[in-house]
Structure 1
Amino acid sequence: MSQAPIIEELNDPLISNAISIWEKGVFKERDGSMSDAIKYYREALKMYDQVEKVYKKKLHTEWLLYQKLEKLNLNEDDKMNSTGDSTNNEDEDESLLPCWIFEMLPNDILLRIVSHVVRLSGESWVNLSLSCTRFNDLCFHNSVPYKTFKDVIYPKQVYDDVLQTLNGENSIKNLEQILWDKNYELMIKQRPYIKFEGVYISVVNYLRYGSNVDGSSSLRNPVHMITYYRYYRFYEDGKVLRLLTTDEPTFVVKYFTRENHIKSSHLCSWKLYFDGETNYVTISRSNDKYAFEEKLIIRNQGHKRFQRLKWMESTVEDKEGNVSNCSLKNEKPFFFSRVISYAHEVAANPITTK
Structure 2
Amino acid sequence: MNTLDVEQEQALEEFRNNWRQEVREKHSRNKQPEVPSSEKQDCLTHNTSEEESIADIIDHTKSLATTEEEKEPVTAMDHYVIAVDNERQGKLGKALDSYRRAFRLDPNIDYAYEQHYQKEILPKIQESNVRPKMHSEDFKHFIPLGREYTAPSAMRTDPLADLITQFSNEEGLSYIPRLDYKSVAISKLPSEIMVDILRFLVLHSLSTMPFFALTCKKFFLLSRNPSIWQYACIRVFKDPSMTLEQSKRRQLDYVRKYNGHWMRMFIDRPRIRYDGIYISTCNYIRPGTSDIGWNQPIHVITYYRYLRFFPNGTILKHVTTEEPQNIVKLLQPGFDKKQCFHGRFTLDGEDHINIVMKDKTMPKLMFNMKLIIKTTHRGRHNKLVWDEYSSFSDIPNRGSDLFDLKSLKAFFFSPVRSYTTCYPSELNDMDESLMIM
Code of the residue aligned with 2:346 in structure 1: it is: L
Map 1:1-354 to 2 at 5 A.
16=74, 20-43=78-101, 45=103, 48-49=105-106, 52=109, 56=113, 59=116, 63=120, 95=178, 100=184, 107-140=191-224, 142-155=225-238, 157-159=239-241, 175-180=250-255, 184-189=262-267, 191-205=269-283, 208=285, 216=293, 225-266=300-341, 268-275=342-349, 277=350, 279-286=352-359, 287-302=362-377, 304-319=379-394, 320=396, 322-342=399-419, 345-346=420-421, 351-354=426-429
Once residues 143 and 135 of structure 1 are traced to their aligned partners in structure 2, the CA distance between those partners, rounded to angstroms, is 14
Higher strand share: 1
Q: How many pairs were matched up? A: 298
TM-score norm. by structure 1 comes to 0.66
Q: Which runs of 5+ in 2 are unaligned?
A: 1-70, 128-175, 430-437
Code of the residue aligned with 2:402 in structure 1: it is: N
Once residues 15 and 353 of structure 1 are traced to their aligned partners in structure 2, the CA distance between those partners, rounded to angstroms, is 55
Q: CA deviation at 1:306?
A: 2.1
Q: CA deviation at 1:254?
A: 3.4
Question: Is the partner of 1:193 in helix, strand or coil?
Answer: coil
1:81-123 Cα shifts (integer Å, max 9, x gaps): xxxxxxxxxxxx9737697555676543432343343344322
Aligned to 1:164: none
Contact preservation (8 Å) 1:281, 1:297: no
Change (3 A) 1:96 1:269: farther
Code of the residue aligned with 2:277 in structure 1: it is: V
Question: Is the partner of 2:90 in helix, strand or coil?
Answer: coil
Code of the residue aligned with 2:380 in structure 1: it is: R
Contact preservation (8 Å) 1:120, 1:350: no
Aligned to 2:173: none
Once residues 15 and 127 of structure 1 are traced to their aligned partners in structure 2, the CA distance between those partners, rounded to angstroms, is 37
Most deviating of 328-337 and 176-185: 176-185
Q: CA deviation at 1:311?
A: 0.9
Q: CA deviation at 1:258?
A: 4.2
Contact preservation (8 Å) 2:234, 2:251: no
Change (3 A) 1:241 1:216: same
Contact preservation (8 Å) 1:22, 1:51: no
Once residues 183 and 200 of structure 2 are traced to their aligned partners in structure 1, the CA distance between those partners, rounded to angstroms, is 20
Once residues 53 and 340 of structure 1 are traced to their aligned partners in structure 2, the CA distance between those partners, rounded to angstroms, is 35
Once residues 237 and 20 of structure 1 are traced to their aligned partners in structure 2, the CA distance between those partners, rounded to angstroms, is 46
Higher helix share: 1
Q: CA deviation at 1:216?
A: 4.9
Q: CA deviation at 1:273?
A: 1.7
Q: Which runs of 5+ in 1 are unaligned?
A: 1-12, 71-92, 162-170
Q: CA deviation at 1:270?
A: 2.4
Q: CA deviation at 1:256?
A: 3.1
Change (3 A) 1:58 1:17: same
Change (3 A) 1:211 1:55: same
Code of the residue aligned with 1:196 in structure 2: it is: Y
Once residues 349 and 193 of structure 1 are traced to their aligned partners in structure 2, the CA distance between those partners, rounded to angstroms, is 17
- Bigger Cα Rg: 2
1:155-182 Cα shifts (integer Å, max 9, x gaps): 5x42499xxxxxxxxx656543433366
Compute the RMSD of aligned alpha carbons.
Answer: 4.3
1:211-249 Cα shifts (integer Å, max 9, x gaps): 99999567xx87654533211122233332212223332
1:115-158 Cα shifts (integer Å, max 9, x gaps): 34334432233332222221111212x21111221244245x42
Code of the residue aligned with 1:63 in structure 2: it is: E
Q: Report sequence identity in percent.
A: 25
Once residues 160 and 111 of structure 1 are traced to their aligned partners in structure 2, the CA distance between those partners, rounded to angstroms, is 26
